[in-house]
Structure 1
Amino acid sequence: MMDVPDFIEGDLRIALTDGQRLVTEVDGVTVVWHSWGEQDSATVVLLHGGSGSWLHWVRNIAALRDAGWRVLVPDLPGFGDSDLPPGCVDVDALSSYLHDGLQQLAPKGPVQLVGFSFGGMTAGLWLQAYPQDAHALVLVGAPGMGLQTAVRTPLKGWRHLATSEAQEEIHKYNLMALMFQNASALDSLALALHTANVHRDRMPRRRLSSTDILARALPDVQVPVSAIYGEHDALYRERLPEVQGAMQMLCGQWNRWTTVSGAGHWVQYEAAQAFNAALIQTLSDQA
Structure 2
Amino acid sequence: GDSAPLPGVIDADGMLPGLAQMLEAQFPLQAVRLVGFSFGGMTAGMLAAAYPHLVQQLVVVGAPGIGLTDKHPFRLKGWRHLEAAQAQLAHHVFNLGALMLHDATRIDRDTVALHVHNVWRDRLPRRRISSTNILVRSLAQVECPVAAIYGAEDALYPGTLDQVAACMAAAARQWQGLQRVAGAGHWVQYEQPAAFHAVLLPLLAG
- What TM-score range do you get, normalising by the shorter chain? over 0.9
2:99 aligns with 178
Query: Match for 2:178: what amino acid?
Result: W
Query: Match for 1:263: what amino acid?
Result: A
CA contact (8 A) 1:234 1:265 kept: yes
Larger RCO (CA within 8 A; separation ≥ 6): 2
Match of 1:200 among 103, 106, 121: 121
Between 1:105-114 and 1:275-284, the stretch displaced more is 105-114
CA contact (8 A) 1:181 1:232 kept: yes
Match of 1:142 among 58, 63, 88: 63
TM-score, scaled relative to structure 1: 0.69
* 1:144 alignment partner, SS class: coil
Q: Are positions 1:210 and 2:100 aligned together?
A: no
TM-score, scaled relative to structure 2: 0.95
Match of 1:163 among 79, 84, 104: 84
CA contact (8 A) 2:92 2:112 kept: yes
Aligned identity (percent) is 50
Displacement of 1:107 in angstroms is 6.0
1:8 aligns with none
After TM superposition, the runs of 4+ consecutive aligned structure 1 residues lying more than 2 A away are: 106-110, 148-151
Displacement of 1:164 in angstroms is 1.4
* 1:94 alignment partner, SS class: helix
CA contact (8 A) 2:72 2:156 kept: no
CA contact (8 A) 1:144 1:213 kept: yes
Q: Are positions 1:219 and 2:140 aligned together?
A: yes
2:198 aligns with 277
How many equivalent residue pairs? 206
Q: Are positions 1:114 and 2:35 aligned together?
A: yes
Q: Distance in 1 between matches of 2:17 and 2:72?
A: 35
* 2:148 alignment partner, SS class: strand
Kindly report the root-mean-square deviation, in angstroms, between the aligned alpha carbons of the 2 structures.
Answer: 1.6
Displacement of 1:205 in angstroms is 2.0
CA contact (8 A) 1:149 1:238 kept: no
The gaps in structure 1 that reach 5 residues or longer are 1-79
Structure that is richer in helix per residue: 2
CA contact (8 A) 1:141 1:233 kept: yes
CA contact (8 A) 1:149 1:237 kept: no
Displacement of 1:202 in angstroms is 2.5
Residues 62-97 of structure 1 show CA distances to partners (whole Å, capped at 9, x for unaligned) of xxxxxxxxxxxxxxxxxx112222221111111111
Between 1:196-205 and 1:147-156, the stretch displaced more is 147-156
Query: Match for 1:189: what amino acid?
Result: D
Residues 226-276 of structure 1 show CA distances to partners (whole Å, capped at 9, x for unaligned) of 000000100000100000011111100011221101110000000110001
Displacement of 1:188 in angstroms is 1.9
1:29 aligns with none
Q: Distance in 2 between matches of 1:148 and 1:142?
A: 14
